[in-house]
A and B are shown apart, each in its own frame.
Chain A
Amino acid sequence: MACLIQGFVTNGMAPIMAEQVHNKEKQRLWVKFSQLPATLIIGGILVGFLLCIALLSFVWTPYDPIAMNVRDRYLPIGSEGYLLGTDRFGRDVLTQIIMGARNSLFVSIISTLVSLMIGTLLGLYVAAAGGRIQNIISRTIDVGVAIPGILVAMVLATAIGPGNLAAITAIIIWFIPVAARVVIGPAVQVLSQDYIEAAFGYGRKKWFVLFNHVLPNISSTIIVQASVMFAAAILIEAALSFLGVGAQSPIASWGRTLKEAQPLMEIAPSLMVVPGLAIVLAVLGFNLLGDGLRAYLDPQQTRKR
């Protein structure tokens, strides 16, 4: 009898307890989430949204991006069937923006990753070299940082022809010295620690120490730098295509959409506002993400949690 009652009780209790546990876990997750910096959350949402849209464009866009519809030219925002209106050829602006997001992210991600990789390797090498080599290369890097990137892009565009390749190459050349300079400082500081000397003392090779001990310790710097670079790359890509150096028609690009809208400012101001807003939101998203990551990865913050 007692057994029966117990069985009944436990059976009855089990789902309630499981639910409580589940709720507690949910609560804990929520607490963890709510402790994240607000900038990180907002930035993450903006960037995530942008990424989703760019990926979506591979499978679906509202309209064919190059299909013209002469009857429906210059439709305003909120027209039936055209959420963001149409441009002077009657193309759907929303489709243009979505395709532009794809191009913008493509250029900025490729160029940022490549320049970060090369810049980090260069920075690590310089930090470990020390002495005269370090001096010479870091001064050269400083000179590299001082060269205006737009100028490099212009020269490249005339040399290899305008297009995404020219834009990507220009941004990479522009960013390598920036990335290297960001890496050198923290790397030198980490290299002066006793555990680095111990690793060398045990007979570890230079690049082993650099990858296994130095790189993990400066990773937060690099991650934050990456998000800042993404934002800058989006802006530069837009500027280059605005100047006619970047992506060429018919590849959609925010900068070119903006440029094409410029002479039509008085007829259809929304054509200019929309791509401008897209650029602003994308840059804002990456910058907020960078700021949030900086706060989140700050070692002192981490220690407090």
Chain B
Amino acid sequence: MLIIENLHVSIAGHTVAEVEKLELANGQRIGFVGESGSGKSMIVMSILGLQPKSAKVTGSIKFNGVELIGIPAKKLADIRGRLIGLVPQDPTKSLNPTMRIGKQIAEAISLHSNAGKKAILRRVRELIDNVRLPDPDRIIKSYPHQLSGGQQQRVLIAIAIACEPKLLIADEPTTALDVTVQGEILNLLLTLSKELDMGLLFVSHELGVVRFVCQKVAVIYGGQVAEFGNADSIIKQPAHRYTDALIAANISLPRNEIEVAGNTNQLHSVRGSVPSIGEFPDGCRFRNRCDFAIDSCRSFVPMRQKDKDHYHRCCNPISSAEKPNVTH
């Protein structure tokens, strides 16, 4: 359904994202994981043409056979919302505070159909019901500030799925929410994706969350796909040192719970911080923060295959014999 090939995004001459090849089948759920500044949002946003104005995008992004790069603005506006939906990161910034919820959902429907007023209202109620919000009459008449953050995010999901898109892009949809609500939103996204047979492109910095929602995971670092494969295989047997470091830093994964409960009382953190754009080292992007860097990391690292459906670009990968993450 979605095929990304040789995608290259640059800002002021610096590469911020490059993807050689990435495919998403119908109804498949894929997670993009990485630290802030790793370029994951940049890749995802360039699918919808929502990258910053200063960014230059080349390569090919094909959605159901339609080339999205260089597509006229009018055609792109038609695809946005109708074929590809977007759930934004911050619900409080994404709803107009002076417009009633009902009108904002109705707008998303009426933009892509000629349905009459009654049909639209019926659909709005249906959507509110779909995203498991109670009391549609009250919600329709409410203003955004009368709803909680989680409810607002549900409204935004309703808007995103209003036209039953084939692909839903969720850009860190739970980051701005309370922990107690995060699970509900994730469950909702998962069920909706299954119910509507809708592909899901899920951006997050939490591997645990991604494993819960997605079948496939792409670990992004320095704008590159560092590792790609089935979610379980990546989390249980990572090959790339960066993936391993991410897993070690994640409290919500079972492997670390034991260590926290044990005597170490300390979570691992990845050494250093993500460099600014244009300051990544040559060769392996992760080289300067990696404890296992070797000489061959200095030159360009191509994508290698570990297993069927498991790819990575690491010169000194974790071998199957090595117990992951013991030397950190």
Enumerate chain A interface residues (CB-CB to B < 8 A): 193-195, 197-198, 201-203, 213, 216-217, 219, 299, 302-303
The stretch from B92-100, B127-135, B258-266 touching chain A is B92-100
Cα–Cα distance between A219 and B96 once the two chains are bound (Å): 13
* Chain A residue at minimum C-beta to C-beta distance from B99: A216
The answer for the CA separation of A213 and B104 in the assembled complex, in Å, is: 11
Report whether A197 and B50 are in contact in the complex, using a CB–CB cutoff of 8 Å: yes
| Chain B residues whose CB sits within 8 angstroms of the CB of A213 once the complex forms | 96, 99
With A201-B48, A202-B111 known to touch, is A195 a contact of B80 (CB < 8 Å)?
Answer: no
Shortest beta-carbon distance, B265 to chain A, in Å? Answer: 40
Chain A residue nearest to B94 (CB atoms) is A194
For residue B21, give the distance in angstroms from its CB to the closest CB of chain A. 27
Give the chain B neighbours of A219 by CB distance below 8 A.
98
B74-A303 in contact (CB<8A): no
Residue of B74, B86, B93, B99 touching A193 (CB-CB under 8 A): B93
User: B39 on the interface (CB 8 Å rule)?
Assistant: no
A302–B48 alpha-carbon span in the complex (Å): 36
Q: Which residues of A contact B97 (CB under 8 A)?
A: 217, 299
A196: nearest chain-B partner, CB-CB: B96
Instruction: Give Cα A302 to B111, complex, Å.
Output: 31
**Chain B 88-116 against A: per-residue CB contact (8 Å), 1 yes, 0 no?**
10100111111100000000000100000
Beyond A203-B78, A213-B96, A219-B98: 4 further Cβ-contacts under 8 Å? A195-B95, A202-B80, A202-B111, A302-B145
**Residue of A whose beta carbon sits closest to that of B53:** A130
> How distant is the Cα of A203 from the Cα of B86 in the complex, in angstroms?
15
Instruction: Please tell me if the beta carbons of A195 and B48 are within 8 angstroms of each other in the complex.
Output: no
What are 28 residue pairs bridging A and B, where the CB atoms are less than 8 Å apart in the complex? Answer: A193-B93, A193-B94, A194-B90, A194-B94, A195-B93, A195-B95, A197-B50, A198-B88, A198-B94, A201-B50, A201-B77, A201-B80, A202-B77, A202-B80, A202-B81, A203-B73, A203-B74, A203-B77, A203-B78, A213-B96, A213-B99, A216-B96, A216-B98, A216-B99, A217-B98, A299-B97, A302-B145, A303-B145
Cα distance A293–B105 when bound, in Å? 31
Interface residues of B (CB under 8 A from A): 48, 50, 73-74, 77-78, 80-81, 86, 88, 90, 93-99, 111, 145
Whole-angstrom CA separation of A197 from B94 in the bound complex? 9
A213 to B97 Cα, complex, angstroms: 9
Name the residue of chain B whose CB is nearest to the CB of A302: B145
Q: Which residue of A lies closest to B144 (CB)?
A: A195
Q: Which chain A residue has the least Cβ–Cβ distance from B146?
A: A303
B77 to A195, Cβ gap below 8 A? no
Instruction: Say how far B36's CB is from chain A's closest CB, in angstroms.
Output: 18
Please indicate the chain A residues that have their CB under 8 angstroms from the CB of B99 in the complex: 213, 216
Return chain A residues, CB-CB under 8 Å to B96. Answer: 195, 213, 216-217
Cα distance, A216 to B95, chains bound together (Å): 13
Q: Could you say which residues of chain B place their CB within 8 Å of the CB of A194?
A: 88, 90, 93-94
CB distance from B146 to the nearest CB of A (A): 9
